[in-house]
Amino acid sequence: MKTGIASPPGFGRLLLVYLAVRVVMTLLVLLNGRLPYGDSARAWKVSESGFRYRVIDDRFLDSLDRNDSRGYLWIASYGYAAGEDRQLNTAFFPGYALVVRAAHDGLRALWPGGAPPPASREDVLLWHHAGHLVSVVAFLCFLLAFHFWCRRRFNPEVAWRAGLLVILSPMGFLFSCIMSEALFLMTAFLALVMAEQGRYLKAGLAGAAAAATKSFGGAVLVSLMLIQWERAKWSLRGWGYGWLAFLLVPLALLGVMLWMAELSGSFFHYVDQQAYFFGHSHFPNFASVLDLFDPRGKTVHHLVRDVFQILGLGAALLGMAVFLRRRPAVPFRWAHVALPVIVLCVTLLAGAAVSMARYAALSAPAYVGWALLLDHPRRFRIALAASALLQAALWLSWMNSWRWVV
């Protein structure tokens, strides 16, 4: 296997690459000019008519605040509170928002000269800093765990290439935005790694955190059970009792649903909210799957958007196929593939195909598969450059609300 690298760099070099990418993305924000939210956004504060969105005058933080970001900041600030037409805002799971709230409290405690007054300009920016901080720390924790897992399962060269592919993937910018993807990726991956090592309680706690962060996080339980089954040599004998800690995953999911039921009076209020606000109803929705591949009647904008969704789905599936076919076989490979496959299937069948590129980016084994596939230095450099250019293009789309990816 040739890479042209005598001694593949370690995690420290990956960290420098990540910081360099963030600098470039920040420069793109500054060069882009005025962002669309500007004066047209309404101040996010408590008023007689309910909760309204905040206007922030920090262009960089504003660029991180798109799509679901304001829903998470809302929950972090006020909880599942009613306001305007958003009702209880239970279209989002609370895990990420709760961590952002804790980070915000910590930043307020460390603020020089005392905490800024609530709803002041400094406090408004502090909420965005907290959301950004949680995403960046979660992603770097994932990257660290992923890097050393790849070194242990494969070799340093694969670990280096896979780490670069994660950082420079077309949707890589998302892991620094005020979104829950980075936290979910970290908790879900750590749950699987802990289960591989027989650390059942830690695996159960990490899986529970993933289940509280994303609605499809409960699928982590499937992967955990597959790992336990393989550890027991594909037999039910010898399971012991440690695996019972995995039941923390469905318990966390049940707890979130009961919390929403207490607020709304309906155990399935989350499903209702998803159907009402985002059109994710009639599961399984095969029509949305067919529509993704049907170009008829679509505008150029919608065609571009769907091309990105198809490319994301195809890249994830191809990467996972290479990961599965690798010889000698990767231990626990089916467990690592099961989770992203379930996530992609749920996304398609829930009528959320427009979010396919975002959720395809959560497939850790796909990055390994591409790292194995691109084992020639020239091919790898070309693919990495193309991926970086796509990330820049999608980042511009994100900050300008062109909605190529949702």
What confidence score (pLDDT) does residue 191 get?
98
The predicted-structure confidence for 96-134, as pLDDT tens digits, reads as follows 999 999 999 999 988 887 778 876 778 888 888 999 999
What confidence score (pLDDT) does residue 88 get?
56
The predicted-structure confidence for 61-83, as pLDDT tens digits, reads as follows 778 887 788 888 888 888 876 55
Structure confidence at residue 279 as a pLDDT band (50, 70, 90): low
The predicted-structure confidence for 373-393, as pLDDT tens digits, reads as follows 999 999 999 999 999 999 999
Structure confidence at residue 18 as a pLDDT band (50, 70, 90): very high
**56 neighbors 65 (Cβ within 8 angstroms):** yes
Q: Is the peptide bond before 328 cis (omega within 30 degrees of 0)?
A: yes
In the chain, % helix, strand, coil (3-state, to 5) comes to: 65, 0, 30
What confidence score (pLDDT) does residue 29 get?
87
The predicted-structure confidence for 326-360, as pLDDT tens digits, reads as follows 988 899 999 999 999 999 988 887 766 678 888 99
Amino acid at 51: F
Q: How many CA atoms lie within 13 A of 301 on its CB side?
A: 7
What confidence score (pLDDT) does residue 228 get?
95
What confidence score (pLDDT) does residue 6 get?
52
Is the confidence at residue 290, as pLDDT, over 50? yes
Q: Which residue has the higher pLDDT, 283 or 142?
A: 142
What confidence score (pLDDT) does residue 4 get?
45
Mean pLDDT (whole number) for 282-307: 80
**CA 143, 147, 148, 152 torsion-angle sign:** positive
Question: Angle CA(366)–CA(372)–CA(377) in degrees, nearest 5?
Answer: 125
3-state secondary structure of 211: helix
Is the confidence at residue 311, as pLDDT, over 70? yes
The predicted-structure confidence for 162-174, as pLDDT tens digits, reads as follows 999 999 999 999 9
pTM (2 decimals)?
0.90
Dump the DSSP string for 125-188: HHHHHHHHHHHHHHHHHHHHHHHHHHHHHS-HHHHHHHHHHHHTSTTGGGGGSSSSHHHHHHHH
Is the confidence at residue 53, as pLDDT, over 50? no
CA 141/CA 136 separation, integer angstroms:
9
CA 55/CA 75 separation, integer angstroms:
17
CA 104/CA 110 separation, integer angstroms:
10
CA proximity to 306, closest of 286, 319, 288: 288
Structure confidence at residue 46 as a pLDDT band (50, 70, 90): very low
CA 175/CA 172 separation, integer angstroms:
6
What confidence score (pLDDT) does residue 2 get?
46
Q: Which residue has the higher pLDDT, 223 or 292?
A: 223
Question: How high does pLDDT run on average in the chain?
Answer: 85
Structure confidence at residue 276 as a pLDDT band (50, 70, 90): low
Residues in the chain: 406
